[in-house]
Amino acid sequence: MNRHVEVRSIREGVYILWYLGYTDLASLYASGSERELLRFNGAINRLIEQILTENDKSEIIRNFLENQGMYRKYCVDETIASWFSHDEKSSVFFWLYLLKKFRDQQLGDEILSLAGNSYHDKKIVCDKNNSKITVNELPIRTPDNPKKCFMAGLYILDLLSFSPDKLQRTLDEIKIDYSHIRDLRRKDFAWFTDAGPEDVKWVWKQFNGHPNLLNNINKWDLSESLLSQTIPLLYYLWDGREDTKALYLNTLRKRYANMKHRKKVADKAPVNIRISPGAKNTLVKLEKRFNRNRADVIEYLIEKTWAELNQKN
DSSP string for 151-164:
HHHHHHHHHHT--H
3-state secondary structure of 181: helix
Q: Residues 93, 231: contact at Cβ < 8 Å?
A: no
Amino acid at 80: I
Residue 119 has pLDDT above 50, yes or no: no
pLDDT, one tens digit per residue, over 159-172 is 888 888 989 999 99
Confidence (pLDDT) at 136: 55
Question: What's the half-sphere exposure (Cβ side, CA atoms, 13 Å) at 119?
Answer: 25
Q: Is residue 258 domain-resident? A: yes
Pinpoint the alpha helices (H) of the chain. Answer: 10-20, 23-30, 37-55, 59-74, 88-102, 105-114, 117-123, 146-160, 164-188, 197-209, 227-237, 242-264, 277-290, 294-312
Q: Is residue 207 domain-resident? A: yes
Q: Is residue 270 domain-resident? A: no
- Give the strand pairing for 131-133 and 124-126: antiparallel
Confidence (pLDDT) at 126: 34
Residues 52 and 83 in one domain: no
Q: How confident is the model at residue 54 (pLDDT cuts 50, 70, 90)?
A: confident
Q: How confident is the model over 246-274, as a mean pLDDT?
A: 88
> Cα–Cα distance between 284 and 168 in angstroms, integer?
58
Question: Within 10 Å of residue 111's Cβ, how many Cβ atoms?
Answer: 18
Q: Is residue 226 domain-resident? A: yes
Mean of all residue pLDDT scores within the chain: 83
Q: Which range among 104-108, 181-185, 269-273 shows the weakest confidence by mean pLDDT?
A: 104-108
Considering only CA atoms, give the Rg of the chain: 27
Structurally, how many domains does the chain consist of? 3
Residues 115 and 256 in one domain: yes
At residue 19's C-alpha, the angle toward residues 15 and 24, to 5°, is 80
Q: Give the domain-ending residue among 75, 102, 118.
A: 75
Residues 168 and 182 in one domain: yes
Alpha-carbon dihedral sign for residues 40, 41, 45, 46: negative
Q: How confident is the model at residue 39 (pLDDT cuts 50, 70, 90)?
A: very high
Q: Hey, which residues does 132 pair with through a beta bridge?
A: 125
Residues 149 and 114 in one domain: yes
Q: Give the domain-ending residue among 46, 75, 104.
A: 75
Residue 220 has pLDDT above 60, yes or no: yes
Q: How confident is the model over 212-228, as a mean pLDDT?
A: 76
Residues 172 and 212 in one domain: yes
Residues 2 and 28 in one domain: yes
Q: Is residue 66 domain-resident? A: yes
More confident residue, 277 or 104: 277
Residue 124 has pLDDT above 50, yes or no: no
Confidence (pLDDT) at 56: 62
Residues 218 and 122 in one domain: yes
Q: Residues 1, 49: contact at Cβ < 8 Å?
A: yes
Q: How many residues in the chain?
A: 313
> Cα–Cα distance between 216 and 303 in angstroms, integer?
51
Confidence (pLDDT) at 123: 39
Residues 241 and 229 in one domain: yes
Confidence (pLDDT) at 122: 37
Buried b (16+ CB within 10 A) or exposed e, 235-257: bbbbeeeeeebeebbeebeeebe
Residues 47 and 87 in one domain: no
Q: Is residue 269 domain-resident? A: no
Residues 89 and 158 in one domain: yes
pLDDT, one tens digit per residue, over 69-117 is 989 988 899 899 999 988 889 999 999 998 887 764 445 555 555 544 3
Q: What's the pTM value of the predicted model, to 2 decimals?
A: 0.77
Domain span at residue 68 reads 1-75
Question: Within 10 Å of residue 278's Cβ, how many Cβ atoms?
Answer: 8
Residues 126 and 235 in one domain: yes
Q: Is residue 272 domain-resident? A: no
The share of the chain scoring above pLDDT 90, in percent, equals 42
Q: Give the domain-ending residue among 24, 55, 75.
A: 75
Q: What is the dihedral of CA 213, 218, 220, 223, to 10 degrees?
A: 100
Residue 125 has pLDDT above 50, yes or no: no
Q: Is residue 39 domain-resident? A: yes
Q: How confident is the model at residue 296 (pLDDT cuts 50, 70, 90)?
A: confident
Q: How confident is the model at residue 131 (pLDDT cuts 50, 70, 90)?
A: very low
Q: How confident is the model at residue 121 (pLDDT cuts 50, 70, 90)?
A: very low
Residues 237 and 187 in one domain: yes
Q: Which range among 79-93, 94-108, 251-265, 276-290 shows the weakest confidence by mean pLDDT?
A: 94-108
Q: Give φ, ψ of 272 to 5 degrees.
A: -105, 115
Confidence (pLDDT) at 117: 38
